Structure 1
Amino acid sequence: MADSFTSQIFRRMPVGRHPHTEEGLKRTIGLVQLIGFGVGATVGTGIFFVLTTAVPDAGPAVVVSFVIAAVTAGLTALCYAELAGSVPVSGSSYSYAYATLGEVVAMIVAACLLLEYGVSASAVAVGWSEYLNQLLDNLFGVEIPHDLSYAPEAGGIVNLPAMILVALCAMLLIRGASESATVNTIMVAIKVGVLVLFIAIAATGWDSDNLSDFAPFGVAGIQTASATIFFSYIGLDAVSTAGDEVKDPARTMPRAIIWSLVIVSTLYVAVALTAVAAQPWQDFEGQQAGLAQILENVTGSTWPSTVLAAGAVISIFSITLVVLYGQTRILFTMGRDRMLPPIFARVNPRTLTPVPNTIIVASVVALIAGFVPLEWLLDTVSIGTLVAFMVVAAGVIILRRRAPDLERTFRVPFYPVLPLLSIAACLYVITGLALVTWVVFLVWIAVVLAFYFSYGFKRSTLRRTTGDDEAVAP
């Protein structure tokens, strides 16, 4: 009985197909739109203020820290690219874990993804009202009242702009994936344009003397800054949530992941280099709206803060849209697998989108964004993401051993060294998280596993199709 139970909780979804094909999403997303998803979910509020935290740790050598973080993210991105080409379905690392490590591990990864996507959507929405207020003040001299811009713990009543943002994104997602992808692509082009504008203007204030004391805190400072900067790369895995709506997913998804990484890394390194060359590194600590302030110093004008605020408003809208999309598609896949109630997999026949799923997710995210302050949300996002990243790297190794002849449209080079390095890099970062974050994470995992054993274990589609009903009574 024990062996039977163990074999059932580690049962694996067949690679390359699902035993349920009657419920499908519409394939409307092409390569450019999918790259927009990856860039849109990654280039966000982080790059607008991460330098004020990272530069005091590393000095001008923060540029090296960005490169190290890019390499770390790149190792994970390559693993995602291989699995995206081998298991080209929606669900991101949940689906990859289901195909390689088994059902109970997939449920643990799903818990991590709920933290990464659901909580991060709330977190970025909370920050939207701050930039929106700055933009409204610069343009019209008005601000949204404090009581309506902050959660109770932050001195307000409700963060109404954050809730409105989530509602707008949900409405767009309900209309259709293609429309959402098109709007996101436009917003990504705008915010990338804002960063390119920063690079061009900041470069005119280049002062080599600012780079002379390049690494004032040595290797230790560079490593500390790398750990901080790494979280600016969270979001690259959003590409892998769209497998059921991508045209030719086995080829398109790996290419989109790699192109997203290249674009994001190039922008980040260029922004960091021009920023530290235009301003002494000692001036970054505690600086508000750092990029805008640098441009004001270089140009002697106040218009850059308006441009940067507009870029941040658009950036956060784009991130919220893509992260909500990713969350709904992960839950759609879980509902289709009967690991969640079937309502999560219900598709509207007209729009071919999971409307009930989207409404449920948006409601929960909006409530968290409206009533929970930003600082309570951030660390839980980090730990969920890092665990999911490690599972993906392990999945590459396991799938290579179990299915060596499986068709792969992309292969991780220097296997198995790069997947092992990816796991090591994630472990390095995750050990720096606070103890309280681990406690919250483990309690959350216990709650999700309790739900799995009371619901998903008995009802999963895979159990019904493999005849496990006869082994253990429902």
Structure 2
Amino acid sequence: MIKKPIETLLRESKEEGEHSLKRSLGPVNLILIGIGIIIGAGLFSLTGIAAGQHSGPAVTISFLIAALGCAFAALCYAEFSAMIPVAGSAYTYSYATMGELFAWIIGWDLALEYAVGAATVAISWSQYLTKFLSWFDLYLPPQLTLSPFETAKAANGEVINGIINLPAALIVILVTSIIIRGTKGSALVNAIIVTLKVGVVLVFIAVGWSFINPQNYHPYIPQNTGVWGDYGWSGILRGAGLVFFVFIGFDAVSTAAQEAKNPQRNMPIGIIGSLLICTVLFIVFAHVMTGMANYKEFIGSGAPVAIAIEKTHYQWLSKAIVLAILIGYTSVILVDLLGQSRVFFSMSKDGLLPKVFSEIHPRFRTPWKSNIVLCTFIALFAAFVPIRVVGEMTSIGTLLAFVMVCAGVLILRKQQPDIHRPFKTPLVPLVPILGILTCFAMMTFLPGDTWLRLIIWLAIGLVIYYTYGKKNSVIRRMLADKHQRY
């Protein structure tokens, strides 16, 4: 199994000039990138679902357990990103520890997290935009907000067929134009967006705190019904499995390693800091939400946060939450597109993808052609594919990457124990093993058709690898040249 030497990766991390990415991100930028992708609509929907169906008020414990599970993987990402500060994230770490084939599988798998994830979020963004505009008596025609495979029913009962989800495509194009103009500018836009959406969450907490009814916390851990996962401690664990997916996304920070200043120090701060801040915010949010309304009121609700807001009689808060989701989704799309282009940048430099994905803009120092190609595919995907097809594929792709990174820490600790590690994952091998077990357990919660789509996606990737990537691999060519000389 051909591996990429750590020494080669370290040389790449020190490259400078017009053909390399510009290091412009400090620790605050990196933390905000993490917060930008972690906080999304899942916080407002999954919190109530987990409380109503599984955990009750003890959903706060579910969040704590889920955060602990994510922390195992986050610590492994922190070790790698500080040690090998290049753009490829899990792809690069797998190349160094498991070899080229595994690296390709993870690189292709990451497209599920970033590219497909961006398209999925763009479709949801379009739905929330339509809802937000309707409050002001502004209506977009269904033909321009639905894919050709979706329909809507008019007030007179007429069935309207979708043509194109235009808002979804336009938000992808808009965000791509921001990313192309430079990582520093993208980070500034992300910082503004994160400030706004965190502000709305804090407003909800501040307003809701005065409407907390202590009786809603009793019993804090509802008695189990006799069915595993229906309240009790098993319900807390089932709730943790559900809210685990709210935390997914912190790994995107590692894709910015080659654009971070002092990455040996700042990458662990960015990854762990963003996860820690979001954990505290989520637990307080869940505490307030379950205090405002009895957890039983959330059962079967499609919009549980709206039930809590009704207790305040402040209907403007509902609009603020939807606005926060809209803003939040924009930052998720931004970080997803940023992460995907950086992974493909690394794969292209290794020869596994065409050179167009690693060409750097002479002025902006960004992989602009890669951004344009990805924008085209993702915008078309968002415009013409219904969201139900891709909904859970993003999560399974991310979890597989987590498993591989945790395994990579174990492998490299054994193969190269003396290599300089600016940040070390504590309690090895315990933490990486717990990370592998936790993430794999979360994968088992996903339905069978999601696994099938993952297998099909990876099979397509293997065809591309054996027909293009393997033949054009830079490492393979270097080894072949060395073999011919000797």
Shorter-chain TM-score tier = over 0.9
The change in CA–CA distance for 1:464 and 1:53 in structure 2 (over 3 A counts) is same
- Of 216, 219, 239, the residue aligned with 2:253 is 239
Q: What's 2:315 paired with?
A: 302
Q: What's 2:83 paired with?
A: 86
Q: What's 2:58 paired with?
A: 61
Task: Provide Cα deviations, 1:103-127, integer angstroms capped at 9, x if missing partner.
Answer: 1110111121011111111111111
Task: Provide Cα deviations, 1:150-178, integer angstroms capped at 9, x if missing partner.
Answer: 22233122211111110100100111111
Q: What's 1:4 paired with?
A: none
- Kindly indicate whether residue 242 of structure 2 is the aligned counterpart of residue 228 of structure 1: yes
Cα distance, 1:469 vs structure 2: 7.4
Cα distance, 1:12 vs structure 2: 4.9
Whole-angstrom distance in 2 between the partners of 1:42 and 1:383: 16
Q: Report if the CA contact (8 A) 1:70-1:233 is conserved.
A: yes
SS at match of 2:146: coil
Q: Report if the CA contact (8 A) 1:19-1:465 is conserved.
A: no
Task: Provide Cα deviations, 1:347-372, integer angstroms capped at 9, x if missing partner.
Answer: 11111111110011111111111112
- Of 329, 353, 367, the residue aligned with 1:354 is 367
- Of 414, 429, 434, the residue aligned with 1:416 is 429
Amino acid corresponding to residue 16 of structure 1 in structure 2: L
Whole-angstrom distance in 2 between the partners of 1:363 and 1:350: 22
- Of 92, 104, 107, the residue aligned with 2:104 is 107
Q: What's 2:411 paired with?
A: 398
Whole-angstrom distance in 1 between the partners of 2:385 and 2:356: 27
- Of 467, 472, 475, the residue aligned with 1:454 is 467
Q: What's 1:201 paired with?
A: 207
Cα distance, 1:466 vs structure 2: 3.2
Q: What's 2:226 paired with?
A: none
Task: Provide Cα deviations, 1:430-449, integer angstroms capped at 9, x if missing partner.
Answer: 12222222222112112211
- Kindly indicate whether residue 191 of structure 2 is the aligned counterpart of residue 179 of structure 1: no
Cα distance, 1:391 vs structure 2: 0.6
SS at match of 1:411: coil
Cα distance, 1:286 vs structure 2: 3.5
Amino acid corresponding to residue 174 of structure 2 in structure 1: L
Task: Provide Cα deviations, 1:334-388, integer angstroms capped at 9, x if missing partner.
Answer: 1111110001001111111111100111111111111122222122111111110
Match runs of 1:100-179 below 5 Å:
100-138=97-135, 140-155=136-151, 156-179=162-185
Whole-angstrom distance in 2 between the partners of 1:165 and 1:440: 26
Q: Report if the CA contact (8 A) 1:201-1:295 is conserved.
A: no
Q: What's 1:258 paired with?
A: 272
Q: Report if the CA contact (8 A) 1:332-1:345 is conserved.
A: yes
Among all aligned residue pairs of Structure 1 and Structure 2, give the percentage whose two residues are the same amino acid. 39
The change in CA–CA distance for 1:469 and 1:121 in structure 2 (over 3 A counts) is farther
Q: What's 1:382 paired with?
A: 395
Q: What's 2:31 paired with?
A: 35
SS at match of 1:151: coil
Whole-angstrom distance in 2 between the partners of 1:24 and 1:402: 30
Whole-angstrom distance in 1 between the partners of 2:344 and 2:323: 32
Amino acid corresponding to residue 74 of structure 1 in structure 2: A
The change in CA–CA distance for 1:269 and 1:184 in structure 2 (over 3 A counts) is same
Whole-angstrom distance in 2 between the partners of 1:104 and 1:260: 31
Q: What's 2:300 paired with?
A: 286
Give the paired residue count: 462
SS at match of 1:348: coil
- Kindly indicate whether residue 445 of structure 2 is the aligned counterpart of residue 432 of structure 1: yes
**Unpaired segments of 5 or more residues in structure 1?**
1-6
Q: TM-score, normalising length from structure 2?
A: 0.91
Cα distance, 1:292 vs structure 2: 4.0
Bigger mean CA offset, 461-470 vs 449-458: 461-470
Whole-angstrom distance in 2 between the partners of 1:457 and 1:187: 41
Whole-angstrom distance in 2 between the partners of 1:38 and 1:16: 24
Alignment RMSD, CA only? 1.7
Cα distance, 1:45 vs structure 2: 1.4
Q: Report if the CA contact (8 A) 2:356-2:370 is conserved.
A: yes
Q: Report if the CA contact (8 A) 2:165-2:384 is conserved.
A: yes
Q: Report if the CA contact (8 A) 1:19-1:461 is conserved.
A: no
- Of 6, 9, 16, the residue aligned with 2:10 is 16
Q: Report if the CA contact (8 A) 1:292-1:308 is conserved.
A: no
Q: What's 1:319 paired with?
A: 332
**Unpaired segments of 5 or more residues in structure 2?**
152-161, 223-230
Q: Report if the CA contact (8 A) 1:52-1:286 is conserved.
A: no
Cα distance, 1:52 vs structure 2: 3.4
Q: What's 1:3 paired with?
A: none
Cα distance, 1:148 vs structure 2: 1.5
Q: Report if the CA contact (8 A) 2:298-2:307 is conserved.
A: no
SS at match of 2:311: helix
SS at match of 1:48: helix
Q: TM-score, normalising length from structure 1?
A: 0.94
Cα distance, 1:413 vs structure 2: 1.2
Q: Report if the CA contact (8 A) 2:27-2:266 is conserved.
A: yes
Amino acid corresponding to residue 338 of structure 2 in structure 1: Y
Amino acid corresponding to residue 359 of structure 1 in structure 2: I
Cα distance, 1:468 vs structure 2: 5.8
Whole-angstrom distance in 2 between the partners of 1:147 and 1:52: 32
- Of 280, 284, 288, the residue aligned with 1:274 is 288
The change in CA–CA distance for 1:34 and 1:209 in structure 2 (over 3 A counts) is same
Whole-angstrom distance in 1 between the partners of 2:404 and 2:29: 27
Q: Report if the CA contact (8 A) 1:154-1:373 is conserved.
A: yes
Whole-angstrom distance in 2 between the partners of 1:337 and 1:250: 23
Whole-angstrom distance in 2 between the partners of 1:20 and 1:260: 26
Amino acid corresponding to residue 198 of structure 2 in structure 1: V
Whole-angstrom distance in 2 between the partners of 1:296 and 1:125: 28
